[in-house]
Amino acid sequence: MSFKAIRADKTDTGQSVRFVEMDEAELMDGDVTVGVTHSTVNYKDGLALSGKSPVVRRFPMILGVDLAGVVEASSHPGFRAGDEVVANGCGLGETHFGGYAEKARVNGDWLIKPPPGLTRAEAMAIGTAGFAAMLCVLALERQGMTPRMGPVVVTGAAGGVGSVAIALLAKAGWTVVASTGRAEEADYLKALGAAEVVQRASLAAPGRPLGKERWAAGVDCVGSLTLANVLAQTRYGGAVAACGLAGGMDLPASVAPFILRGVQLIGVDSGHCRAPLRREAWARLARDLDRAALARMTETVPFEKTFEIGAKILAGRVRGRVVVAIA
């Protein structure tokens, strides 16, 4: 049986990424076959769709790091035909065929059933970006960070991770400072719960090893100079969860925040976290993420517009989250 997919192929001149028709027999090994109904576009997806980034690690590769759908066949003990399922990360779209296809065959251990009350479309509105935001919140909580300690800064605030992080943190009682390069999104960010919006430029230029103490905690989606400045301006005993590199992979910082203020930098990986943490994060998202806020930050597009959204997310022109309706 044939199905439509977005596939990356390796050519003599680089990567070729395009819509193709494939046969179910071409799917990779796995114990659960899923009829995919929804996916999404994360920053990593935008990189892969461009064909210019080393996100894809084997070829040919169906792209898409997230998927939601309905089980068509299963030999895994945890799933049976008709079950609704969600997968994010776990090598999808990088080393194993991903979610930009009408069918997927995966390892059942990578799947979860959506928590009660969370639809497949909502799960993809959250996607890897929102999942990463929840992991950042959990990481701060594990370090004992609470709203009474002071405000929290969120960088890359108008993007997917930032939007979900603001909604989660505001609902938890934090005073949220949103950093963005898009001044026109101030009303949007405040509607999600930001108490203050600051311009990205204030954090994107080289700064002092230690700056004025402004916030108790942070969620950083940008990296590079922005993360360095966030660390330099974090209060004594604070913590920053870092999960993104939209501004670069480098970190031109000093040890001063760590050894003079006891600031902690926590790395957050959403792609390969262990199953218990994965289940905890999705359960917390279902419980703590306001559905109205999620709807405000989400746009839904047909499968055919995936490339268009991929280009926009790399250009910084996507606000919040985008759901791709596969079927």
Q: Give counts: helices (H), strands (E), the chain.
A: 10, 15
- pLDDT of 54 reads 86
In this model, does residue 53 exceed pLDDT 90?
no
Identify the CA nearest to 223 among candidates 268, 255, 271, 189. 268
pLDDT given at position 256: 98
Contact 75/68 with Cβ under 8 angstroms? no
The stretch 163-189 carries a mean pLDDT of: 97
pLDDT band at 248 (very low <50, low <70, confident <90, very high): very high
* pLDDT for res 52: 85
Alpha helices by DSSP H, listed for 120-204, are 120-142, 160-171, 186-192, 201-204
pLDDT score recorded for residue 12: 85
Mean pLDDT of 145-171: 98
CA trace torsion 239, 177, 89, 38 (10° rounding): 160
- In this prediction, residues 237-254 reach a mean pLDDT of 96
pLDDT tens across 89-131, in order? Answer: 999 999 999 999 999 999 999 999 999 989 999 999 999 999 9
Domains and CATH numbers, the chain: 2-113+297-325 (3.90.180.10), 127-267 (3.40.50.720)
Mean pLDDT (the chain, rounded): 96
- Do residues 196 and 222 make contact, with C-beta atoms less than 8 angstroms apart? no
Tokens representing residue 272 in the block: 């390969």
Q: What is the rounded CA–CA span in Å between residue 27 and residue 122?
A: 26
1-45 confidence digits (pLDDT tens) = 899 999 999 988 889 999 999 999 999 999 999 999 999 999 999
Q: What would the pLDDT profile of 264-287 be if each residue is shown by its tens digit? A: 999 999 999 988 999 999 999 999
Contact 226, 200 (CB under 8 A): yes
d(CA 257, CA 235): 9
pLDDT on residue 11: 84
pLDDT value at 82 more than 90: yes
Average of per-residue pLDDT across 150-170: 97
What is the phi/psi pair of residue 42, to 5°? -100, 170
Average pLDDT of the segment spanning 175-200: 97
Res 214: pLDDT? 98
